[in-house]
Every structure is written in structure tokens, then in C-alpha cells.
């Protein structure tokens, strides 16, 4: 079955740029979504179709996807961005999630 | 306000059954595909099942295939998940999430799970 691999944790200082990666076989051929989940809350979609931001999502969130790797970039990271981030793609009729990356802003 | 509200969670014995519901409001339910996604305690997100807007297509994760059944009632703006033969590994918060499939002349793609419910907790012991 298809797998998406994420690093377990990323740390960033406030105001700096955070990059969270998601890897999968020929992932660039698929559309990737990214979800933010803060402690005790439901997931929120922050990126869809690789690069698009839903309304209400700050411009500091951006995405890219090429080859085997998709990347979520948070520019000018704020303390409120501390959360778990999950990538997701569809493969053969199944939605596949990465295991998640814990973003720490310190 | 666009909203999804799950219900039906609770405690159930191993081997038992449970039926979850998700009620939609604030949007045209029949225009959207729907998913169930779960999250075991301290773990990541796991997709469980999908149903197309007219219920013509349903898909299941291998971990629940043959035990869970997804259904929807567009007249009632509701989504359901019938869970049978439950095991401890099914213990999780269950979320419903909407998505939308659009097709061009060359391909079909999903717009993304843009609205999620608050989740309902199922504990199997």
C-alpha cells in the first residue's frame, strides 16, 4: 500500500521559516493536502492541490510538490503555528495520511 | 455556518457494534463527497472510509473492510458509519470530513477535506 513519510518533528524560532516535508513514490504525480492539528482540536486544511490556500489561511503558509517530495513552508512562523502537521494524498481509491510532523516554535 | 456534527460515540465491548452519525448544515450536503477519518489516542490521522455524493462509490481502508459500512441520506443531510466486530484497535476519535471530487476531460481530483467535525470518541475494551 502507498505510504507517505514525514519527519517526526521540526523546530523553528519565531519569525523564521519552517519547512515540513512529505515523501512518497512519485508523489509529484498526485495532489497533496496539508492539515494542521492543534492539541485537542480537529484538523484544519491549510493547503490543498499542492499549492492552494483555503480562504482564511494566512499567506505565510505555502506548499510545493515535485518528484517524490511535497513541502509545506511556513514563512515568518508564529507561536500560534505550533501544531502537528499531516500531509495527505489519494492513491487507488484510498486517502493516505503521513504520520505527522510536530512543529515546535521556540 | 458550515458545520459537521458527529455523534454516536461511546464505550463498547470487543466484538460489539456501534453506529456513528454525522449531520451536516450550512451547505448543500449532496454536492459533496464524505469521509470518515479516525485518530487513535496519541496517534496520527487514519482514513477509514469514503462515499461519493450520490453513494455510487464507497471505499474502505483495509483495516476496516468487511466490518464497517458507510452510508448517507442526502434528504436528511446525514452520514453514517456502521461499525461491527470492533476490536481494541478501533479505539479512536472518529471525524467526518467533507471533500469534493471534480473531473476535467483528462482526470478527476479531490479538492481536499476542507470541513471537519469535532469528532466522536469510540472506546473498545
Average pLDDT score over residue span A88-97: 96
Which residues of B have a CB under 8 Å from any CB of A? 35, 37, 44-47, 50, 59, 61-62, 95, 97, 109-114, 116-119
**Cβ-based contacts of B121 with chain A (< 8 Å):** none
B103-118: average pLDDT: 93
Give the integer Cα–Cα distance in Å for B113 and A47.
10
Using a CB-CB cut-off of 8 Å, the residues of chain B touching A93 are: 50, 59
* DSSP state letters, chain A: ----EE-SEEEE-TTS-EEEEEE-TTGGGS--EEEEE-TTS--EEEEBTTTB--TTS-TTEEEEEETTEEEEEETT--GGG-EEEEEEEEETTEEEE---EEEEE-
* Mean pLDDT computed over A45-59: 97
Whether B17 and B9 have beta carbons less than 8 Å apart is answered as no
Q: Any idea which of A23-32, B50-59, B98-107, B112-121 has the lowest mean pLDDT?
A: B98-107
pLDDT at A5: 98
Q: State mean pLDDT over B77-106.
A: 96
Cα distance between residue B117 and residue B4, in whole Å: 5
Average pLDDT for residues A33-46, to the nearest whole number? Answer: 98
Average pLDDT, chain B: 97
Residue B52 backbone dihedrals phi, psi, to 5 degrees: -75, 170
Q: What is the mean pLDDT of residues B42-59?
A: 97
> Band of the pLDDT at B107, cuts 50, 70, 90?
confident
Percent of chain B with pLDDT over 70: 100
* pLDDT value of position A100: 98
The pLDDT tens digits of the residues spanning B2-31 come to 999 999 999 999 999 999 999 999 999 999
Give the per-residue pLDDT at B45: 98
Q: In 3D, which of A75, A66, A106, A70 has the Cα closest to residue A86? A: A70
Q: Which of B112, B117, B119 to mutate to probe the A interface, most A CBs <10 Å?
A: B112
Amino acid at each position: 500500500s502507498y505510504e507517505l513519510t514525514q519527519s517526526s518533528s521540526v523546530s523553528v524560532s519565531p519569525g523564521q521559516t519552517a519547512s515540513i516535508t512529505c515523501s512518497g513514490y512519485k508523489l509529484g504525480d498526485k495532489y497533496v493536502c496539508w492539515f494542521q492539528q492543534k492539541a485537542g482540536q480537529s484538523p484544519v486544511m491549510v493547503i490543498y492541490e499542492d499549492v492552494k490556500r483555503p480562504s482564511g489561511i494566512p499567506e505565510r503558509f505555502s506548499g510545493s510538490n515535485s518528484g517524490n517530495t511535497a513541502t509545506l513552508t511556513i514563512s515568518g512562523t508564529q507561536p500560534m503555528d505550533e501544531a502537528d502537521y499531516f500531509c495527505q494524498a489519494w492513491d487507488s481509491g484510498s486517502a493516505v495520511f503521513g504520520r505527522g510532523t510536530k512543529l515546535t516554535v521556540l | 455556518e458550515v458545520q459537521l456534527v458527529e455523534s454516536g460515540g461511546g464505550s463498547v465491548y470487543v466484538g460489539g457494534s456501534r453506529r456513528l452519525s454525522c449531520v451536516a448544515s450550512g451547505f448543500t450536503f449532496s454536492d459533496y463527497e464524505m469521509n470518515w477519518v479516525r485518530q487513535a489516542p496519541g496517534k496520527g490521522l487514519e482514513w477509514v472510509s469514503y462515499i461519493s455524493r450520490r453513494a455510487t462509490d464507497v471505499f474502505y481502508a483495509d483495516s476496516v473492510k468487511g466490518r464497517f459500512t458507510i452510508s448517507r441520506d442526502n434528504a436528511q443531510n446525514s452520514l453514517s458509519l456502521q461499525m461491527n466486530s470492533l476490536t481494541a484497535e478501533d479505539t479512536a476519535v472518529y471525524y467526518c470530513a467533507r471533500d469534493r471530487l471534480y473531473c476535467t476531460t483528462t482526470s478527476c481530483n479531490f479538492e481536499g477535506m476542507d470541513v471537519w467535525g469535532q469528532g466522536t470518541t469510540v472506546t473498545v475494551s
